[in-house]
Each structure stands twice: as structure tokens, then as C-alpha cells.
């Protein structure tokens, strides 16, 4: 019992931090709540870094303490801090500002639980914690667009979650246990296992904005505050995809050809996200479709699980890279404005921010030597090694389309004259986020060795 608690200490720290943050908000101390969140998340991250290399389980193998669950803490802890700082910049002095910080903490906890799931119940629990808190955050401004977005997120979540729960009862019934490892039995009925897997993909795909359960994404992002949209684009996604990796580790290919199912979804997700993004005039919607596409790339790493030596590395490195470049792009959008026209003439007005945004977008395309390239490089490698070269080809064609998408932001920055109008200012938190992610996007791309297991 004691070792079990010790093994999940990063998650326990996150939990207690979040409770403290909630208490501070009740005392109407939003600033203190933010600082408590920062300190707690840093502590949890530090503990997780210290534990790297551990590969064990806790509580009768229901929770896995391995590279994936530890890296989830190391990625999502700092992620929560970055998005909380963005939230502070955007929502400072709004009513119930501090609730945002505690909800971010809870949602991150859900994602961390997902990433270490060894039991189907943990997947259900993690998904619920992670997305329910997200819904509350999305509704924070209490106006029509945000309520509509949050409602969509909620209804989609309820339906997807219910379907998943229904399907997972088949798995539990077949295997006689809710442990994920119970499904690792070639004698089970193939059809029932496949049914369970498809419902699982619906539930997880919803949190990860995977086609075809992505429909909430653009509307929810557009209605929510920019910092919340940024949060939702990163944290639940990483948790959900890590959970998917935990499941397929134990799923025999002889029962259900899961790599093929995931490959088809990945291809559709990438293509749909990138093609639809070509028509968006709102930067937030454009980035929303881009996250659908990026989820598609990310699935390549899951396909490699068990078949490629690069799979876990690719999931970790792309997770880090995706956090950095997405947080940076959203931060600059928060500073500049959400219409494409707001970016006109930025190269003259704010040359450094313009260069920063270009770097984030090129990193999303996968340009070396940036972080996004290192991630995609490993993802493509994992796909090829698993025998999915055709998927890698689809992915590279999509990278080319995505260049056209992201250039729609770059072109007005450098080659169009600014419109008249008031110029927005960058809050200190926003500046901190874009500068730190900018530096790290370059550093991680070159120093990728530190993230390899």
C-alpha cells in the first residue's frame, strides 16, 4: 500500500495541489491560487522526472507507472502552468477567475490518470474528470457562443462516453475482469473485442478531437476564451492518446486489426483537418482544424506501439513538441487577435512576435530543426517500421497541405499592410508564454536526445 502511494505520488501531488487551489479560490484569492498551482505542478513534474525509468504498477496492476504515465506528468504539469498564465492574462479580474486554475488542475489530473490506465475503469474515470472540467472552463465567459460551445462539448462527451461505457462492458464481460491486460487473450471472440475497441476509440477520439468525433472542436474553441481553447487542444489530447497506447499494448492483433483501424482514422483525421482548415478566416477555428489534423499525425505513434522501437519515443517527443508549438501559437493569437486580418502588417509592427509565430507554424508543418520536426520524424519512423509506409506517405502529403494552411497566417504578417485600428497589447503572462515556448521549440528540436528513453 505504501509503495503504491509512493508510486503514484506525482498524481497525488497534482490532486492535493488542485484541492488547495480550489480552497484559495473559495477565499477569493485568485493570485495565490495561481501561484499554488504553479508550485504544485512544478513539484509534481520534478518528482516525475526523478522517477523516470521506473516501470511498475500500482494497486493490483490497475495503474501503470511507466514511461508514458511519467512523461504525461512531465508534459502536462508545465502545460497546465503555461495555460494558467495565459488564462491569467486573458481573464484577470473576471468573476471566478480562480476556478479556472482549479479546473485546469482537475482536467490535467484526469489526463494523467488516462495516461497511466491499467484498468478500463481508470479510462472511464480519467476521461470524465478530464472532459467535465473542460466543459466548465469552456463555459466560463457565460455568453452565447461560449455556452453553445460548452454545450456541444458536453453533449458530444456524454454520448461518446456512454457508447464507450456500453462497449467496454463487453470487454469486461468477455475477459471476466476490468483489467486491460485481461483482453490479452487470443481465445476471446474477435467480434466482441472489435466492438469494444471501436467504442473505446469513439470515447478516446472525442477527447483527442479525432475524426469522426471531432465536430465539437471548432465551435467549442471559438466560443471559449483563447487560453481555454489552447488548453483543450493540448491537455486532454495527450492524455487520451497515451491511454490509447496503454490499451493497444495489450490488444492482440489476431483478435482485432487495430493498427489498420487506427491507420484509417489517422488518415481521415489528417486529411479532413488540413483541407477544412484551408477555408477558415478565424485563426482560432483554423487552429482548431489544425489540432484535428495533428491528432491524426499523433496516432501514427500509437500504431507503432509493440511493433516499433520508436513508438514510445515518438509519442513523448511529439507530445512535448505539440505542447510547445500550440501553446506558442495560441499565445500570439491571444496577443494579436483572432481574425486573420489582425495579423496584417505584424512583421513591421512586432517583428519578434511575427518571427515567433512563423517558427511555431513552421514547427507545426514539421520543418527542421524545430521541435515539431523531431516529433514527426519519430512518428513517421514508427509508422514505417510497423509496416504502414502508405500511412507515412499520406502523412507527408498532408504536411504539404498544412504548409498552405499555415502560410495563410504567415503571408498577412509579412506581405500585407496593417489595417487601421487599435493595437492590442501583450500581457506579461502572454509574453512569458510565447517567449519561453519559442526558445524551447528551437532547443527541443536540437536537443531531442534528452527526451529519448
Partner 1 sequence: MDFSSLPLLSITTFLPVIGALVIMVLRPKQTKTAYGIGIVFASLTLLAAIMIWIQGIGSSLSQVEELSWIPSLGIAYRLGVDGISFPLVLLTAFLFLTSLIFSAKIKDSANIFIQLVLMLETACLGVFLSLDLFLFYVFFEITLVGMYFIIAKWGHEHRKKAALTFFIYTLIGSLFLLLAFLALYLFSDTNTFDIQQLITNPTITGLAATLTFWGLFIAFAIKTPLFPFHTWLPLAHTEAPAAGSAILAGVLLKLGTYGFIRFPLQMTPDAFREFAPYVIVIAVFTALYGAFVALAQTDIKRMVAYTSVNHMGYLIFGVAIAAVTTTTSGMIALDGAVLQMISHGVVTGVLFLLVGALQDRTGTREMNEMTGLLKTYPILSGLFMLAAFASLGLPGLAHFPAEFQIFLGGFDVYPVAVGIIIIGLPITTALYLRAIQKVFLGTLPEGFTGLKDLGSRELWAIVPLILATILIGVYPDSLLSMIHATTNFFGL
Beta-carbon contacts of residue 197 (< 8 Å; ≥ 6 apart): 167, 247, 251, 256, 258, 261
Question: By rule CB under 8 A, what count of residues binds partner 1?
Answer: 27
Q: Does 399 bind partner 1 (CB under 8 A)?
A: yes
* Residue of 125, 194, 367, 435 that binds partner 1 (CB under 8 A): 367
According to DSSP, residue 310 is labeled T
387 touches partner 1 (CB under 8 A)? no
Single residue of 32, 174, 275, 397 touching partner 1 by CB under 8 A: 397
Measured from the CB atom, the residue of 18 and 290 that comes closer to partner 1 is: 290
Strands (E), 66-125: none
For 283, the 3-state DSSP assignment is helix
Q: DSSP of 123-185, one letter per residue?
A: HHHHHHHHHHHHHHHHTTT-SHHHHHHHHHHHHHHHHHHHHHHHHHHHHHHHHSSSBGGGG--
Question: Distance between CA atoms of 403 and 315, rounded to whole angstroms?
Answer: 22
The sign of the dihedral angle between the CA atoms of 357, 358, 364, 367 is: negative
Q: Which of 407, 435, 439, 442 binds partner 1 (CB under 8 A)?
A: 407
Cell readout for 432 is 512569458
Report CA-CA distances (Å) from 42 to 17, 29, 38.
Answer: 10, 20, 6
Q: Which of 75, 26, 83, 32 is nearest to 52 (CA)?
A: 75
Cβ at position 304, least distance to partner 1 in Å: 12
- Minimum CB separation of residue 448 from partner 1 in Å reads 6
Residues 344, 419 contacting (CB under 8 angstroms):
yes
- The stretch near partner 1 (CB under 8 A) out of 68-76, 79-87, 220-228, 368-376 is 368-376
Residue located via cell numbers 506558442: 328
Site string for partner 1, 327-366 (x = CB under 8 A): -----------------------------------x--x-
Region from 101-109, 159-167, 384-392, 435-443 binding partner 1, contact rule CB under 8 A:
384-392
Q: Which of 121, 159, 403, 435 binds partner 1 (CB under 8 A)?
A: 403
Among 232, 321, 323, 384, binds partner 1 (CB under 8 A): 384
Stretch that binds partner 1, among 4-12, 218-226, 279-287, 382-390 (CB under 8 A): 382-390
Q: With H, G, I as helix, E, B as strand and everything else as coil, classify residue 278.
A: coil
In the bound state with partner 1, the residue whose beta carbon lies nearer, of 332 and 392, is 392
Query: Does residue 52 bind partner 1 (CB under 8 A)?
Result: no
Q: How far is the CB of 279 from partner 1 (least distance, A)?
A: 16
Among 155, 404, 421, 424, binds partner 1 (CB under 8 A): 404
CB of 411 to partner 1, least distance (A): 7
Nearest-approach distance from CB 401 to partner 1, in angstroms: 8
CA distances in angstroms from 342 to 137, 407, 448, listed in the order given: 26, 15, 34
Nearer to partner 1, 404 or 423 (CB): 404
Q: According to CB under 8 A, which one of 212, 389, 421, 424 is a site residue for partner 1?
A: 389
Neighbour-count burial of 94, counting CB atoms closer than 10 A to its CB (0-12 exposed, 13-18 middle, 19+ buried): middle
Alpha helix ranges (H) inside 416-451: 428-446
Using the minimum distance from each CB to partner 1, give the nearer residue, 98 or 328. Answer: 328
Least distance (Å) from partner 1 to the CB of residue 325? 15
Compute the radius of gyration of the chain from its Cα atoms: 21
Among candidate residues 184, 58, 168, the one with its CA nearest the CA of residue 120: 168
Residue 216 or residue 377: which is nearer to partner 1 going by CB? 377
Q: Which is nearer to partner 1, 230 or 362 (CB)?
A: 362
Near partner 1 by CB under 8 A: residue from 112, 150, 229, 392: 392
Euclidean distance between CA atoms 294 and 398, whole angstroms: 10
Hey, how many other C-beta atoms are within 10 angstroms of the C-beta on 301?
33
Q: Which of 414, 432, 435, 439 binds partner 1 (CB under 8 A)?
A: 414
Distance of closest approach, residue 270 Cβ to partner 1, in angstroms: 13
How far is Cα 230 from Cα 81, in angstroms, rounded to an integer? 12
Contact residues for partner 1, defined by CB under 8 A: 362, 365, 367-369, 373, 377, 380-381, 384-385, 389, 392-393, 396-397, 399-400, 403-404, 407, 411, 414-415, 448-449, 452
Amino acid at each position: 500500500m505504501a509503495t503504491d502511494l509512493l508510486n503514484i505520488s506525482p498524481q497525488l501531488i497534482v490532486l492535493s495541489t488542485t484541492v488547495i487551489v480550489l480552497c484559495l479560490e473559495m477565499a477569493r484569492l485568485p493570485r495565490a491560487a495561481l501561484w499554488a498551482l504553479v508550485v504544485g505542478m512544478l513539484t509534481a513534474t520534478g518528482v516525475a522526472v526523478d522517477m523516470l525509468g521506473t516501470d511498475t504498477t500500482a494497486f493490483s496492476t490497475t495503474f501503470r507507472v511507466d514511461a508514458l504515465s511519467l512523461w504525461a506528468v512531465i508534459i502536462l504539469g508545465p502545460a497546465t502552468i503555461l495555460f494558467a498564465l495565459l488564462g491569467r492574462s486573458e481573464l484577470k479580474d473576471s468573476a471566478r477567475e480562480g476556478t479556472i486554475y482549479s479546473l485546469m488542475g482537475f482536467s490535467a489530473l484526469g489526463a494523467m490518470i488516462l495516461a497511466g490506465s491499467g484498468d478500463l475503469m481508470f479510462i472511464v474515470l480519467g476521461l470524465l474528470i478530464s472532459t467535465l472540467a473542460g466543459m466548465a472552463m469552456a463555459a466560463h465567459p457565460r455568453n452565447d457562443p461560449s455556452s453553445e460551445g460548452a454545450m456541444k462539448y458536453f453533449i458530444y462527451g456524454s454520448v461518446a462516453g456512454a457508447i464507450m461505457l456500453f462497449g467496454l462492458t463487453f470487454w469486461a464481460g468477455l475477459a471476466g475482469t476490468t483489467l486491460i491486460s485481461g483482453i490479452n487473450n487470443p481465445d476471446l471472440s474477435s467480434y466482441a473485442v472489435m466492438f469494444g475497441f471501436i467504442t473505446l476509440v469513439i470515447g478516446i477520439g472525442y477527447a483527442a478531437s479525432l475524426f469522426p468525433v471531432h465536430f465539437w472542436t471548432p465551435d467549442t474553441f471559438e466560443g471559449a476564451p483563447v487560453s481555454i481553447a489552447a488548453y483543450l487542444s493540448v491537455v486532454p489530447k495527450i492524455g487520451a492518446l497515451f491511454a490509447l497506447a496503454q490499451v493497444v499494448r495489450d490488444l492482440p492483433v489476431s483478435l482485432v486489426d487495430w493498427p489498420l483501424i487506427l491507420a484509417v482514422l489517422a488518415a481521415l483525421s489528417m486529411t479532413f483537418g488540413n483541407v477544412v482548415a484551408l477555408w477558415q478566416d478565424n485563426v482560432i477555428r483554423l487552429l482548431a482544424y489544425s489540432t484535428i489534423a495533428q491528432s491524426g499525425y499523433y496516432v501514427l505513434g500509437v500504431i507503432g506501439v509493440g511493433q516499433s522501437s520508436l513508438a514510445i519515443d515518438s509519442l513523448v517527443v511529439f507530445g512535448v513538441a505539440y505542447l510547445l508549438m500550440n501553446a506558442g501559437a495560441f499565445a500570439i493569437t491571444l496577443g494579436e487577435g483572432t481574425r486573420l486580418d489582425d495579423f496584417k502588417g505584424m512583421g513591421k509592427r512586432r517583428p519578434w512576435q511575427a518571427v515567433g509565430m512563423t517558427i511555431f507554424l513552421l514547427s507545426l508543418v514539421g520543418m527542421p530543426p524545430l521541435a515539431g520536426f523531431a516529433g514527426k520524424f519519430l512518428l513517421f519512423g514508427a509508422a514505417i517500421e510497423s509496416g504502414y509506409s502508405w500511412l507515412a506517405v499520406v502523412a507527408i502529403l498532408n504536411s504539404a497541405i498544412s504548409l498552405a494552411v499555415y502560410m495563410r497566417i504567415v503571408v498577412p504578417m509579412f506581405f500585407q499592410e496593417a489595417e487601421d485600428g487599435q493595437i492590442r497589447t501583450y500581457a506579461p503572462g502572454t509574453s512569458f508564454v510565447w517567449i519561453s515556448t519559442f526558445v524551447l521549440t528551437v532547443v527541443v528540436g536540437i536537443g531531442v536526445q534528452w527526451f529519448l528513453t
